């Protein structure tokens, strides 16, 4: 089974402050399939990272449709705490992140059963 890579980055200028997200979805051969880059207003780094993950999964669901359940995805994050929270390795310390966590969890259960998270140093 080939692996589709989703790179998701969310950053805030002053944590909290003006924030942006960037997402790139790559085919197994490294070819870029989809890019997202957008400002999301004021947010923390963690909120922006969660938003990037959700945006990446929603975009992948649109690109691949119902085939996602039979595909392998690796979601690569530069935010270690968010990677650990989404992988159930750490607790969510900000209650404001819970709705995004639930959205991502529901997407994962319904459409991305073969999703793994990786931390990019």
Backbone angles phi and psi of 11, in degrees to 5: -135, 150
The tens digit of pLDDT for each residue in 15-60 reads 999 999 999 999 999 999 999 999 999 999 999 999 999 999 999 9
Domain that holds residue 8: 3-119
Task: State the CATH number of the domain containing residue 13.
Answer: 3.30.420.10
Q: What is the pLDDT of residue 10?
A: 98
Helix (H, G, I), strand (E, B) or coil at 15: coil
Q: What is the pLDDT of residue 1?
A: 80
Q: What is the pLDDT of residue 90?
A: 98
Mean pLDDT of 4-24: 98
Q: How many domains does the chain have?
A: 1
Closest listed residue to residue 11, CA positions, set 62, 56, 47, 63: 47
């Amino acid at each position: 089974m080939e692996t589709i890579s989703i790179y998701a980055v969310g950053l805030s200028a002053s944590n909290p402050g003006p924030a942006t997200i960037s997402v790139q979805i790559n085919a197994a051969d490294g070819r870029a399939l989809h890019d997202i880059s957008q400002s999301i207003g004021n947010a923390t780094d963690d909120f922006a990272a969660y938003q990037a993950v959700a945006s990446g999964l929603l975009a992948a669901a649109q690109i691949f449709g119902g085939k996602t359940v039979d595909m392998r995805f690796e979601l690569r994050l530069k935010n270690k705490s968010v990677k650990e929270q989404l992988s159930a390795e750490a607790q969510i310390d900000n209650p404001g992140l819970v709705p995004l966590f639930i959205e991502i969890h529901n997407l994962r259960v319904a459409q991305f059963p073969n999703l793994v998270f990786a931390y990019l140093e």
